[in-house]
Amino acid sequence: IPVTTQGSQQTQPPQKHYGITSPISLAAPKETDCILTQKLIETLKPFGVFEEEEELQRRILILGKLNNLVKEWIREISESKNLPQSVIENVGGKIFTFGSYRLGVHTKGADIDALCVAPRHVDRSDFFTSFYDKLKLQEEVKDLRIWIVVLFVFQIDILFARLALQTIPEDLDLRDDSLLKNLDIRCIRSLNGCRVTDEILHLVPNIDNFRLTLRAIKLWAKRHNIYSNILGFLGGVSWAMLVARTCQLYPNAIASTLVHKFFLVFSKWEWPNPVLLKQPEECNLNLPVWDPRVNPSDRYHLMPIITPAYPQQNSTYNVSVSTRMVMVEEFKQGLAITDEILLSKAEWSKLFEAPNFFQKYKHYIVLLASAPTEKQRLEWVGLVESKIRILVGSLEKNEFITLAHVNPQSFPAPKENPDKEEFRTMWVIGLVFKKTENSENLSVDLTYDIQSFTDTVYRQAINSKMFEVDMKIAAMHVKRKQLHQLLPNHVLQKKKKHSTEGVKLTALNDSSLDLSMDSDNSMSVPSPTSATKTSPLNSSGSSQGRNSPAPAVTAASVTNIQATEVSVPQVNSSESSGGTSSESIPQTATQPAISPPPKPTVSRVVSSTRLVNPPPRSSGNAATSGNAATKIPTPIVGVKRTSSPHKEESPKKTKTEEKTSSTDLSDIPALPANPIPVIKNSIKLRLNR
């Protein structure tokens, strides 16, 4: 039944039914909605989400040149394979685009995702040889890599698909499912990006409204650190499908209304019910599709958003409990803000205010990846980043952790050795610990979580023959007030000034990270005048803070020694003598005693540094000694916790922690070929009520 509505002429009533359910509302936009939409556009402009017309025309020109180059190359291949002249004249070939550029929501300077479609007689090997060579000869090509990344003025990432057709017509519609017949899986995957993008555009009632809404939502997601498929949040296509579903439910609404309805719908969505833009269709091509009725693994997906093109896939299989929790909370906050905007109590700029991730949590895990050259760093960082979600998954399974929120943005890390050429990158994970009611003191051991993650990364790097000497990965626990020692100032702008008493940061291999007590109060911004005083670790590793009624957490160990070595600053004996008070944790800075724990807690670290026995301790009981000592000369320094062990730890582990015997590698599992020195990497915390 055609729908007739009164109101603005900007949108036309939908002529067909969109989506798998009927619309929630067919209301037409009011004048106030049009005014709010114009204000939204003005707010978005300073963020660079709109491209200038001149830049857009340049993109179109470059893609036209690339398209002609593809046709020319396919003709040359056809001639070399002795095809009939009549076929060569009409052989075709075409460049298709997908992703943000195809959706029409790309930002200034964004790259272009492209697909080269060729007829059946052109092999994939031809694409990576003769076409690669042809591109190298083009003067517009500034940089070219073997996986076919072309840089004209813009970066263009090109995939390849060979269809089972003799010629490629100009009007080819890739949404046709019959094109997938007799194709290999690589070509089907290459085609998937274009097919999904085209389906999305065909499934929304008004493309202009969809595009403006999607620009706003993508900017909001990036500003709020929840835009990253690889780290367990949502990528561009997933955000596009959520916005498209909102457009289907409110087909006549314009952008200001759609942004508000987006937050309304998905803050109340009952996950893991899937988001579908159309009913899945079966093409009888025997390709694997997302179907929890058939595939048991699909039943464990937490936030399924299903692509509309066959073979249907879940675009959010990386989402974890923590990342979903973070996103749903952001949806709720977005709804509250847009409610205010619609009531004229706030401006659109409030929606795009970036929250300070580094004020949000009291505890953080900092991951550091380093490599000796820039080229190796790119490969190493890519691998490490792709596995961080595994670490987040392990952390959130810890019985004492409620949430593990990784910041999608990475940062350059301080050099370990200023005189050595080294490229370092770090990521920050915010932690929320469960509040304990019955226990005053709670020991949390994150060693196994960290070790299993580093083992996974090293194992994959070795198996893929990517691993090089001096590629390292390290992890450490830091508190909110210690982040300024590692992060650049511009990311901590909202942070108040820190007291640097007893704290001095140089290169990380000669640093004194302050691991003392934090006030850990309920406020989001720590005050420099809080009740707990910062005091550095003494020579024995003990730390002390003033008694405070607030719960506190102290890092007892910060290792993976190669990249996070801790040197102990010298302090007055009077300050260190209270190491056994109820508000502090006795710690021991001794050799890394590698003993067989109840779980495999082995980290593989490649370094030219050999494992050595450190000098004997300066006192019999480091936990209670008040003697100060100079920096420990050994390059391997472990800060060990001597407080009561985790309740699940065996007595054997407690005993070995108190030992001061030399390093023992006898019980460590067998390592892969190319022996790698093994160093225990432990992160243990103690929560005090």
Q: Has 278 been labeled as part of a binding site?
A: no
Q: Which fold has domain 357-490+680-687?
A: Alpha-Beta Plaits (3.30.70)
Which residues on neighbouring strands pair with residue 504, listed in sequence order? 512
Element (H, E) at 553: strand 552-555
Cβ proximity of 320 and 232 under 8 Å: yes
What integer pLDDT is reported at residue 302 of this predicted model?
94
**Which amino acids are annotated catalytic?**
100, 111, 113, 157, 218, 227
The domain spans of the chain are: 16-47+203-355, 51-200, 357-490+680-687
Q: What is the pLDDT of residues 173-229, one digit of tens each?
A: 999 999 999 899 999 999 999 999 999 999 999 999 999 999 999 999 999 999 999
Q: Has 344 been labeled as part of a binding site?
A: no
Q: Has 541 been labeled as part of a binding site?
A: no
Angle made by CA atoms 150, 155, 158, in degrees to the nearest 5: 50
Residue 587, classed as helix, strand or coil, is: strand
Q: Which fold has domain 51-200?
A: Beta Polymerase; domain 2 (3.30.460)
Q: How many Å apart are CA 265 and CA 249, to the nearest integer?
A: 9
16-47+203-355 has CATH 1.20.1050.10 classification: no
Q: Has 45 been labeled as part of a binding site?
A: no
Which residues on neighbouring strands pair with residue 639, listed in sequence order? 589
Q: What is the pLDDT of residues 365-422, one digit of tens each?
A: 999 998 888 888 888 888 899 899 889 998 988 888 999 999 998 888 877 777 777 7
128-158 burial: b if 16+ Cβ within 10 Å, else e: eebbbeebeeeeebeeeeeebebebebebeb
Query: DSSP assignment of 614-631, as one string?
Result: PPPPSSS-TTT-------
Q: Has 107 been labeled as part of a binding site?
A: yes
What integer pLDDT is reported at residue 471 of this predicted model?
86
Q: How many Å apart are CA 281 and CA 274, to the nearest integer?
A: 16
Instruction: Choose from 289-298, 561-570, 648-657 the range with maximum mean pLDDT.
Output: 289-298
List the structure tokens of 26.
Answer: 């067919």
pTM assigned to the model = 0.71
Higher-confidence position of 371 and 346: 346
Identify the CA nearest to 157 among candidates 171, 146, 173, 168: 146
Q: How many Å apart are CA 319 and CA 334, to the nearest integer?
A: 20
Sheet containing 155-162: order of strands: 94-98, 112-118, 155-162, 149-151, 143-145
Question: What is the average pLDDT across 147-159?
Answer: 72
Q: Is the pLDDT of residue 83 over 80?
A: yes
Angle made by CA atoms 102, 113, 375, in degrees to the nearest 5: 155
List the structure tokens of 554.
Answer: 């102290």
147 confidence band (pLDDT: 50, 70, 90): low
Q: Has 111 been labeled as part of a binding site?
A: yes
What integer pLDDT is reported at residue 512 of this predicted model?
31
Q: How many Å apart are CA 23 and CA 251, to the nearest integer?
A: 7
Q: Is the pLDDT of residue 133 over 70?
A: yes
Q: How many Å apart are CA 448 and CA 285, to the nearest integer?
A: 44
Q: Has 98 been labeled as part of a binding site?
A: yes
Q: What is the pLDDT of residues 674-684, one digit of tens each?
A: 434 344 456 77
Q: Has 236 been labeled as part of a binding site?
A: yes
What integer pLDDT is reported at residue 284 of this predicted model?
79
Q: Has 449 been labeled as part of a binding site?
A: no
Q: Has 232 been labeled as part of a binding site?
A: no
Q: How many Å apart are CA 158 and CA 91, to the nearest integer?
A: 20
587 confidence band (pLDDT: 50, 70, 90): very low
Q: Is the pLDDT of residue 547 over 60?
A: no
